[in-house]
Amino acid sequence: MAQIVEEKMESEYSGSIFGRLAAYMAPYKKQMVLCLVLVLIVTGCELIRPVLIGDAIDIYIEGYSAPYCVVEQSDLKFGDRYLHRDDSCSEYAQIMMVNEQYAFFAGLTEQQSEALLALAEEGPISTEDMTETTVSVLNLTGQVLTSEDLKVLRHDDFMGIVRVGLIYMGILLVSLSCSYVQTMTLNRTGQNIIYTVRQQLFHHVHSLPLRYFDTHPVGRIVTRITNDVESLNEMYSRILARLFKSSIKIAGLAVVMLVMNTKLALMSFIMVPIITVAIVVFKNLSRKVHRAIRTRISQLNTFLSENISGMRLIQIFANEKMKMDEFSEKTMDLYKANLKQLMIFSVFRPLIYFLSQIALAIVLITGGKSVIDSALTVGTLYIFINYISNFFEPIQDLAEQFSTLQNAFASAEKIFVVQDEINTITEKEEPVHLGEIKGKIEFRNVWFAYEEDNYVLRDVSFIIHPGEKVAFVGATGAGKSSILNLIGRYYDIQKGQILIDDVDLKELSIKEIRKAIGQVQQDVFIFTGDIESNIRLLNEEITEKQIKEAAKEVNAAHFIEQMPHQYKEPVSERGATLSQGQRQLISFARTLAVEPKILVMDEATANIDTETEQLIQKALETLMKGRTTIMVAHRLSTIQHADNIIVLHKGKIREQGTHQELLKYDGLYKKLYELQLYAEH
């Protein structure tokens, strides 16, 4: 049931995923065009290589039987004859294999040459009329060739093969160079895009209101910024170029094959419709599985984030086994989702390979018969066999790239859902700037609810004058902390009006408001780093001197300066190496360092022992002078000095006045005070 609820919480993206992903490539148009040009060159090189080998087979390796023309002068001289390969002449010479030995026939007419070629095409030539130096075939006498003779006669063929080899190596070098430049350019571009996406996403998460974090687990948000963004990296760095390359390669191979031999090409394409159907089915199945995997990873990260943070509580209540069972259930869900993906791939890959081998068999049978019938050369058959192997490889690769693309799209959907979250705490284009905030705060008939009409505050009105110390008290859930959140505009009210220095809060600059407010929370968060960085919080305007002065004012200096590295003392995540009191004192120093005009303290002394509390009381009294101070505290002894105490009950103001006035009133405050005195004794 919990899993179903979690999956429903995952919103679906309904916009154009490809359009938004393409927008990130817009600043890198030149790099992308360069990569596409390089991919075209690499693909062209791959198409040319089999043709070179095929021509080498037909022209030079199998070309020994091609007739020579006997001419008056040429570079090739054998015996007393000058030989040259030409289309037509009056006298021919020819090399033939007889009884598995090469023989040279000279002084042939065109008809005699054609007769010898026709005899050779019927099969191996054999004759009994042969000596060590001569052989007779069709009443024609030829000279049995030695290995030295063959070297002379086939010198041009050998040099032709060398030329083809050098050209082949040159094409390989061009292909390698282009692939290197393309890979480097694409990877660098991909990393730049991923950096931009991650920066934008993290910045957007920072801008979201607290309401968003109330309803979305931390682990899920972390997954979006890390795992999901990283899954886009492969798409930008590798998949797009490979998709383009595979598409161009398939089209190029198809065109070349049709031009070379239409009949054989069409026979090769018999399996394409079946493969197309298989790819469509595979694409649909893999998309569903990839979505499920991304959701399971998000759920697992959410579970881990929550339980590792709450490990102390788990161990206190000995819940390790129960949590282990929950973890096993979630990892099993992820395991099953990954297993489905493996099953789909394990069927798809062998199926495509099987169909490609059937196509190859068809080409071998059809092409082999054509070679026997002299309708096709051996070199052309080699080219077709090479092309047919290469033809189905990019088809399979294309399908698998679509699968990876689906994975990236599934991650992109989840990223864009976060990016499209609207910040409900909006600021006007030209907000009012107060300059120096005096600290007057007024609530006028304020109604506020976290969810729909479940109001936490109901028609609340009060005024806090500059420099006043006001405390809010009441039972848990009365709305005390909500008032503090509203002053900093972390939430917006549904009805009424909040004013600072007689200006509506919604008219003011949010940054200016929050900069003027110093908050001390009950739950102090300490970042990984050192004590100094936790007091400064990346605000470089705060000097080292101000940090030390702030620490002294709240009496935090006495324990900081006893540490080995003092203000440079390393602290771990959440300040695990510090006591609760020490963390609270650091939070006081953090607040004082920014010199706020308004002090907000939410149960600020709740986690401080009596001795530590006495240390800071005097510093707080000095600090509050000249500053508007708002306090929330359960321990009423800490707020007796307040100028005004407002008693809240079920979201409404029931009483207000000084400590003595409220005790005389004999109302809720007096009951709370007496209950606390009784509990302490």
d(CA 94, CA 92): 7
Q: What pLDDT does residue 513 have?
A: 83
CATH annotation of 441-680: 3.40.50.300
Helices 610-624/580-593 angle, 10° precision? 10
Q: What is the DSSP letter of 542?
A: S
Distance (Å) of CA 286 to CA 112, 343, 402, 406, 512: 65, 10, 9, 7, 50
Q: What pLDDT does residue 249 have?
A: 79
Examine the pLDDT at 511 and tell me if it is beyond 70: yes
CA angle 425, 427, 430 (to 5 degrees): 175
Q: What pLDDT does residue 374 have?
A: 65
Hey, how many other C-beta atoms are within 10 angstroms of the C-beta on 481?
A: 18
pLDDT-above-70 percentage for the chain: 90
Find the mean pLDDT for residues 367-379: 72
Q: What pLDDT does residue 170 have?
A: 92
Q: Which residue has the higher pLDDT, 490 or 680?
A: 490
Q: Where in the chain is the domain with CATH 3.40.50.300?
A: 441-680
* Token representation of residue 40: 């075209």
Q: What is the DSSP letter of 538?
A: T
Out of 134-143, 405-414, 450-459, the most confident range is 134-143
Q: What pLDDT does residue 294 have?
A: 75
Which of 483, 509, 490, 474 minimizes the C-alpha distance to 600?
483
Q: Where in the chain is the domain with CATH 1.20.1560.10?
A: 2-16+207-419
Find the mean pLDDT for residues 522-538: 78
Q: What pLDDT does residue 7 have?
A: 44
Find the mean pLDDT for residues 99-126: 84
Examine the pLDDT at 22 and tell me if it is beyond 70: yes
Q: Say how many CA atoms lie within 13 Å of 314 toward its Cβ.
A: 14
Examine the pLDDT at 8 and tell me if it is beyond 60: no
Q: Please tell me the pTM assigned to this model.
A: 0.68
Q: What pLDDT does residue 3 have?
A: 45
Q: What pLDDT does residue 166 have?
A: 92
Mean pLDDT of the chain: 80
Predicted confidence band of residue 256 (pLDDT cuts 50, 70, 90): confident
Examine the pLDDT at 4 and tell me if it is beyond 50: no
Examine the pLDDT at 476 and tell me if it is beyond 80: no
* Token representation of residue 335: 């395991």
Q: What is the pLDDT of residues 586-630, one digit of tens each?
A: 888 888 777 788 888 877 665 556 666 666 666 666 667 778 888
Written as one letter, the residue type at 523 is D
Predicted confidence band of residue 234 (pLDDT cuts 50, 70, 90): confident
- Under 8 Å between Cβ of 556 and 587: no
Q: What pLDDT does residue 2 have?
A: 41
Out of 169-173, 448-452, 519-523, 577-581, the most confident range is 169-173
Q: Which of 17-31, 175-189, 436-450, 604-618 has the lowest mean pLDDT?
A: 604-618
DSSP code per residue over 453-503: T-EEEEEEEEEE-TT-EEEEEESTTSSHHHHHHHHTTSS--SEEEEEETTE
Hey, how many other C-beta atoms are within 10 angstroms of the C-beta on 594?
A: 19
Find the mean pLDDT for residues 420-447: 83
Which of 198, 401, 430, 402 minimizes the C-alpha distance to 284?
402
Find the mean pLDDT for residues 223-229: 81
Predicted confidence band of residue 632 (pLDDT cuts 50, 70, 90): confident
* Token representation of residue 369: 């018969």
Q: Which of 100-104, 315-319, 351-355, 569-573 has the lowest mean pLDDT?
A: 315-319
Q: What is the pLDDT of residues 549-592, one digit of tens each?
A: 888 877 778 788 888 888 888 887 666 677 777 777 888 888 87
- Under 8 Å between Cβ of 479 and 460: yes
Examine the pLDDT at 33 and tell me if it is beyond 70: yes
Sign of CA dihedral 430, 436, 441, 442: negative
Predicted confidence band of residue 1 (pLDDT cuts 50, 70, 90): very low
Say which CATH superfamily domain 2-16+207-419 falls into.
ABC transporter type 1, transmembrane domain (1.20.1560.10)
Q: What pLDDT does residue 619 have?
A: 61
Q: Say how many CA atoms lie within 13 Å of 370 toward its Cβ.
A: 20
Which of 116, 237, 117 minimizes the C-alpha distance to 187?
237
Q: What is the pLDDT of residues 241-254, one digit of tens each?
A: 777 777 787 888 88
pLDDT-above-90 percentage for the chain: 2
Examine the pLDDT at 673 and tell me if it is beyond 70: yes
Task: Please give the order of strands across the beta sheet that includes 495-500.
Answer: 455-464, 441-449, 495-500, 503-504
Find the mean pLDDT for residues 171-191: 88
Q: What pLDDT does residue 610 have?
A: 62
Give start and end residues of each alpha helix (H) in 310-438. 311-316, 320-372, 378-419
